[in-house]
Chains A and B, each alone.
Chain A
Amino acid sequence: GAGVSQSPSNKVTEKGKDVELRCDPISGHTALYWYRQRLGQGLEFLIYFQGNSAPDKSGLPSDRFSAERTGESVSTLTIQRTQQEDSAVYLCASSFSPWGYYNEQFFGPGTRLTVL
């Protein structure tokens, strides 16, 4: 079946512009995560959605970052007034259930964002 898809795969933008990144999770997966991966770094948690519950936004680095999810489907991550330090790969993951020991997350290929 189809995995997690993300678009665009690459995005080059100018400092100060807004960007919108899209994630299509695996059908039936109730949990959705956004991570940021800077060069040479591990994955940095940004935000988590679970069903209709309020999202956990504790990882968002500033109020320039926001994310939405429509039901249990598509999610968009928006970065306003982009800065050069926002340059990174943004990864989306989904899982069937986040509870218990086996929180297996399925990752998309990521969107590589470059802010000039």
Chain B
Amino acid sequence: TQLLEQSPQFLSIQEGENLTVYCNSSSVFSSLQWYRQEPGEGPVLLVTVVTGGEVKKLKRLTFQFGDARKDSSLHITAAQPGDTGLYLCAAENSGGSNYKLTFGKGTLLTVNP
């Protein structure tokens, strides 16, 4: 089972600031997903990255997959209060049972107006 470590665990910033959160493992991922979870709701998929070195952009969010496919980052530019939530990374287990996602503990982001 892959262990995913996310950092920081908590992040509180002011509206307009930039931030980066990280997802790291000692294992190689076949693919990695980022989800955002708002209070009282289930996680919602933001992006899936597959190729080492891949960069994907979703409006003000930039996702990067490490060259060795062991780590990923999420960068938010000019954060807004609506970005507040728990950001989770998830990776598919290697070794056959690729339907099973392993989740990190998440980064709880608060963007203050």
Contact = CB atoms under 8 A, between A and B. Distances in A.
Interface of A: 4, 31, 35, 40-45, 48, 50, 56, 91, 93, 98-99, 101-110
A109 B41 contact: yes
Contacts of A50: 99
B50 A101 contact: yes
Contacts of A110: 40-42
B7 interface: no
A45 B103 CA distance: 9
B33 to A, nearest CB: 8
Interface of B: 4, 30-31, 33, 40-45, 48, 50, 88, 90, 92, 97-106
A103 B98 contact: yes
A42 B103 contact: yes
Contacts of B33: 103-104
A50 B105 CA distance: 26
A110 B42 CA distance: 6
A56 B105 contact: no
Given A42-B88, A103-B92, A110-B42, A48 B105 contact: no
B98 A93 contact: no
